[in-house]
Amino acid sequence: MSPRMVDDQKRHRFAPYRGRGLALNRHGAKLMEVDRFELFTARLRLRTPTPDDASELQEMAADPRVALMTASIPHPYPENGALRFIQHLRTLASDRHRNLAVTIKNTGQFIGMIGYHASGQEAEIRYMISPRYWRLGYATEAAHRIVTHTFETTDVRAIVATAMAQNRASEAVLRKLGFRKQTERSLHLPLRGGTFLVSFWTLDRGDEQERG
């Protein structure tokens, strides 16, 4: 493979794509003008979610193995909740606020959601992966790409994350990315109907640069 081909592949894999266009559903109906955005990793494509993702997102969010490990997903999950959620996310998209569908690059299969929201000098990262694709490294791979993108395109000094302390898999992802646990606190989570131990994590810009 020539050096030029390698360079072209690297640009395709790592450079974000931005564009605007009319989104079409699977029946070809026009939905709305949206900001199209995508990032790539070795195995994944992270892209603007569309209404066609709603059925798979609905199934994932309704799964108690996913919902009960978050502070923000109601359980039972409301009918058509995923479609309304996607429509809401698409109105918020900006360089400082991204929520992207996680898909397998070679097949287009939707497997989860990931995003960040920058406010002041910090950005918060959140992610969820369908249980059918757990323990395959997808959460770490997607989150690493989002962390890199956030530091490259915003002026935040740190990226923060929270996890329910019982969610050991999510905490393991954060450790792999270089996040440091700052503290644990018991918080009342209305959607979970009680008080739960939550861990707070931080990755400083300098730490990410050292990791390369």
CA 169 centroid distance within chain: 15
| Residue of 55, 110, 50, 101 lying closest to 79 (CA atoms) | 55
pLDDT in tens, the chain (212 residues): 433 333 333 333 344 545 554 444 443 443 444 568 999 999 999 999 999 999 999 999 999 999 999 999 999 999 999 999 999 998 989 999 999 999 999 999 999 999 999 999 999 999 999 999 999 999 999 999 999 999 999 999 999 999 999 999 999 999 999 999 999 999 999 999 999 999 999 999 988 766 65
Phi/psi for 173 (5° steps) reads -60, -45
> CA angle, corner 31, sides to 128 and 116, nearest 5?
30
Nearest-angstrom CA–CA distance, 168 and 69: 10
Task: Tell me which H or E stretch contains 176.
Answer: helix 168-176
- Position 188 scores a pLDDT of 96
The residue ranges of DSSP E strands in 82-157, in sequence order, are: 97-104, 110-119, 122-129
Secondary structure in 3-state letters for 29-93: CEEEEEEEEEEECCCEEEECCCHHHHHHHHHHHHCHHHHCCCCCCCCCCCCCHHHHHHHHHHHHC
Instruction: Count the Cβ atoms, other than its own, within 10 Å of residue 8.
Output: 11
- Position 90 scores a pLDDT of 87
Nearest-angstrom CA–CA distance, 68 and 61: 10
Nearest-angstrom CA–CA distance, 71 and 164: 8
pTM score, whole prediction: 0.83
Q: Return the residue matching tokens 């993108």.
A: 149
| Residue of 102, 127, 112, 138 lying closest to 57 (CA atoms) | 112
| Residue of 26, 18, 16, 81 lying closest to 50 (CA atoms) | 26
